[in-house]
Structure 1
Amino acid sequence: MSQLETSDENFDLALIIEIADGSDEFLVESIEMFLQQSPEQMGVIHGAILAQDFTLVASAAHKFKANLGFFGMTTSQENMLQIEKLAKAGAGINEIIEKYNEVNAALEPSLAKLHKIMAEKQALL
């Protein structure tokens, strides 16, 4: 698989590929877990934003930003950090919504690409 296929402007799999150390099985399992958990985590954050539950927003954003880092989603990771900080301060709901929407917009096409990468790697197992 070429470098172009494992990265774009929203993600870079270099770190997770390095951690996998040549194991396609590990890579597939990691991508699969990320694909399952990301919509769930975004849903928790979205629900907490709607409820203006700043404690839950901060907690969920904190948890999700680490996962984004493993998949080289640095811009989305930074947005989650900002969401976490704003929520801890208990203010900035409009900015929180804006940052959430930016993450969501970047995440959707990335998840589709990760599905393709996972399928290619699964075919090699």
Structure 2
Amino acid sequence: MLYDLTELKIYSNGDKEFEADMFQTFLNQTSEFLSKTEYYLLQNNMVEIGRIAHKFKSSVSIFGMAAIRQNLDFIEDACRKNADKDHIEKIYNALKVQIMQVVPQIKAEKKLCLK
């Protein structure tokens, strides 16, 4: 499984509305992360890619998304070390696959909260 809701459940203390809000925030931030990363890849702006990868890590952490978090760490580190664009793009593409797998699952979790 790409996520673990243990930490979210601790923070929410059973508040399903809070959990639904957190799921929606994650979905919004995911969309923003993907679109900005693709834009900055086209611009060859690795500094901004590293910055938004760092920012997105907080969103994935509360959901226990260790594999996604690891790829964000790899991207941030590669950008900091001025790695070539192809290397960063390769990591991003693997990350994007993970994100596309987890998004429908998070949407389903959100629906469960709203029942």
Q: TM-score range by the shorter chain?
A: over 0.9
Q: Does residue 58 in structure 1 map to residue 50 in structure 2?
A: yes
AA at the equivalent of 1:47: Y
When normalised by structure 2's length, the TM-score is: 0.93
How many percent identity over aligned positions? 22
Count of matched residue positions in the alignment of Structure 1 and Structure 2: 115
CA distance in 2, matches of 1:26, 1:35: 14
Once superposed, what is the RMSD of the aligned Cα atoms?
Answer: 1.1
Q: For residue 69 of structure 2, what is the aligned residue in structure 1?
A: 77
Deviation beyond 4 Å, 4+ runs, structure 1: none
Q: For residue 17 of structure 1, what is the aligned residue in structure 2?
A: 9
Larger RCO, structure (CA 8 Å, separation 6 or more):
2
AA at the equivalent of 2:110: M
Q: How far off its partner does 1:76 sit? A: 1.0
Q: How far off its partner does 1:45 sit? A: 1.3
Q: Which runs of 5+ in 1 are unaligned?
A: 1-7
Q: For residue 106 of structure 2, what is the aligned residue in structure 1?
A: 114
Q: Which runs of 5+ in 2 are unaligned?
A: none
> Structure 1, residues 37-72: CA drift from partner, whole Å, max 9, x if none?
111112111211221101101111110112111111
CA distance in 2, matches of 1:71, 1:95: 27
